[in-house]
Amino acid sequence: MSCPPKRQTASRISSPDNLLLILLVCRIRGPYKDADAEYRQYGPNRAMYQEYIAEPDYVSYYREATCLSVAYIAALYEVYTTLAAGADFDESRKARFCEVVSDADLSCPLEQNTLQKAHERLTSGPDGEKYEPLLEPAQVSAA
């Protein structure tokens, strides 16, 4: 797959999350670009390369985000099945959804253990056991 043409990319810079703008800036300057240049010139044992590229365990970050997404989708599925069955989405169901789905992301310093909390809340309650296979305990505890 090739990159989109520049004019198509430029129109997407104004996306709501500004992700493309951030990626473009990181590509032009910033510590990751400097770490890449340092790696190309001096090899993998330099400080910036180790700090920004080698040491962070990006795979574990991705795994945590994926597990949290699974928990959130399962909570949303409860909403869907409730409404599809013609039942009322009452305050108790809304409260359960809000207990599982958090406003914070995995990097929020004010709310720790977001993934573990979502998993615990999703698997508790009357139908919670059906969600156990979705998230293996090893994946949740490793996160």
Q: Quick one: pLDDT at residue 19?
A: 63
Dump pLDDT digits (tens) for 44-69. Answer: 888 888 888 788 887 788 888 888 88
Q: Quick one: pLDDT at residue 136?
A: 64
Residue of 77, 127, 70 whose CA lies nearest to 97: 77
Task: Report, as an integer, the average pLDDT of 96-108.
Answer: 82
By residue count, the chain amounts to 143
Task: Report, as an integer, the average pLDDT of 109-114.
Answer: 80
Q: How far is CA 46 from the centre of its chain?
A: 29
Q: Quick one: pLDDT at residue 84?
A: 94
Q: How far is 82 from 76, CA to CA, in rounded Å?
A: 10
Residue ranges covered by each domain of the chain: 6-54, 58-142
Q: Which amino acid is at 141?
A: S
Q: How far is 61 from 77, CA to CA, in rounded Å?
A: 24
Q: Quick one: pLDDT at residue 33?
A: 80
pLDDT > 90: percent of the chain: 15
Region of 86 on the Ramachandran plot (φ > 0 left; ψ -120 to 50 alpha; else beta): left
Q: Cα-flanking dihedrals φ and ψ of residue 8, to 5°?
A: -70, -40
Task: Report, as an integer, the average pLDDT of 22-26.
Answer: 70
In this prediction, residue 31 has a pLDDT band, given cuts at 50, 70 and 90, of: confident
